[in-house]
Amino acid sequence: GIQVEQSPPDLILQEGANSTLRCNFSDSVNNLQWFHQNPWGQLINLFYIPSGTKQNGRLSATTVATERYSLLYISSSQTTDSGVYFCAVAPNFGNEKLTFGTGTRLTIIP
């Protein structure tokens, strides 16, 4: 099946810092989503981005489908950004199940 690798596994930053999270995948995809799992366990949709670039406030994401990676940018980090960020993909010719990466744990220190 498709492989999904996220880096870095852990990231600790001061409030106000910027960060870039990476997701590499092993096959062409027709679905790529970024999620934030907050400290209460909720999975919050950030972006649906199988290709291209999107922005939502302080967050933006870029997927370069031909090179099989996606980047999530967080600018001016806030403590509420803490949690685990997951990338999930579904392959072009699969059965549409999302395969999740192992996540990046982000901790923002006040």
Binding site for another protein (CB under 8 A): 30-31, 33, 35, 37, 41-43, 45, 48, 50, 84, 86, 88, 90, 95-100, 102-103
Number of residues that make up the chain: 110
Nearer to another protein, 14 or 96 (CB): 96
77 vs 93: CA distance, rounded Å: 37
Nearer to another protein, 18 or 51 (CB): 51
Nearer to another protein, 87 or 108 (CB): 87
Task: Report the nearest approach of another protein to the CB of residue 101 (Å).
Answer: 9
Task: Report the nearest approach of another protein to the CB of residue 104 (Å).
Answer: 11
Task: Report the nearest approach of another protein to the CB of residue 31 (Å).
Answer: 5
Q: Which residue has the tokens 């027709």?
A: 30
Q: In a 10 Å sphere around its CB, with 0-12 CB exposed, 13-18 middle and 19+ buried, how is residue 100 labelled?
A: middle
Task: Report the nearest approach of another protein to the CB of residue 44 (Å).
Answer: 8
**Residue 65, SS3?**
helix
Nearer to another protein, 77 or 103 (CB): 103
The answer to whether the CB of 2 falls within 8 A of the CB of 99 is yes
6 vs 68: CA distance, rounded Å: 12
